[in-house]
């Protein structure tokens, strides 16, 4: 095959690959959007401090493992039901995962949260989630005496 023809074939194949990858990402984003909408609707019916919060959190994680809400419910349930070192230690991984996913998704919102009262009011529910995650992590680190992690938080 002559070199110009080979370059054209390579160019076409790479363009097809790029377009297909972009379309797959778009389809995945649509799937996640519908799952997140369903999670947010179910979340309004479930109390985060209730006895069914752990099972709800696990169900949310199965629906969309890239959304922080499932890990928030799981970690907060474990934190609320902790009474000793092991209980608080078990709550930390889920709360950390929730914090990382939240920061990854809502980084720009956190940076601009206190820029105006209107912006804070619009995003108050998300801010409450982030505050709840960080407060529970703080309490867990404090109860298992991990001051270095507490300071890093």
Which of 138, 104, 108 shows the shortest CA–CA distance to 123?
108
Alpha carbon 22 to its chain's center = 23
pLDDT of 26 reads 42
- Which pLDDT score, from 0 to 100, does residue 143 have? 86
Please give the pLDDT value at position 24.
44
Where the chain has pLDDT below 70, the residues are 1-31, 148-153
Three-state SS across the chain?
A: CCHHHHHHHHHHHHHHHHHHHHHHHHHHHHHHHHHHHHHHHHHHHCCCCCCCHHHHHHHHHHHCCCCHHHHHHHHHHHHHCCCCHHHHHHHHHHHHHHHHHHHHHCHHHHHCCCCCHHHHHHCHHHHHHHHHHHHHHHHHHHHCCCHHHHHHC
pLDDT at 13: 55
Measured CA distances, 84 to 27, 74, 76, 78, 141 (Å): 44, 17, 15, 11, 12
**Quick one: pLDDT at residue 2?**
58
């Amino acid at each position: 095959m002559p070199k110009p023809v080979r370059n054209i074939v390579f160019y076409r194949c790479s363009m097809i690959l790029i377009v297909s990858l972009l379309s797959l990402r778009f389809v995945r984003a649509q799937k996640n959007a519908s799952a997140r909408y369903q999670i947010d609707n179910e979340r309004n019916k479930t109390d985060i401090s209730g006895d069914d919060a752990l099972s709800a959190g696990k169900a949310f994680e199965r629906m969309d493992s890239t959304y922080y809400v499932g890990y928030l419910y799981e970690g907060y349930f474990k934190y609320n039901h902790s009474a000793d070192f092991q209980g608080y230690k078990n709550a930390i991984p889920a709360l950390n995962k929730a914090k990382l996913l939240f920061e990854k998704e809502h980084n720009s919102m956190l940076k601009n949260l206190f820029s105006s009262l209107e912006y804070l009011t619009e995003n108050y529910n998300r801010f409450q989630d982030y505050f709840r995650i960080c407060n529970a992590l703080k309490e867990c680190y404090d109860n298992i005496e991990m001051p270095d992690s507490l300071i890093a938080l």
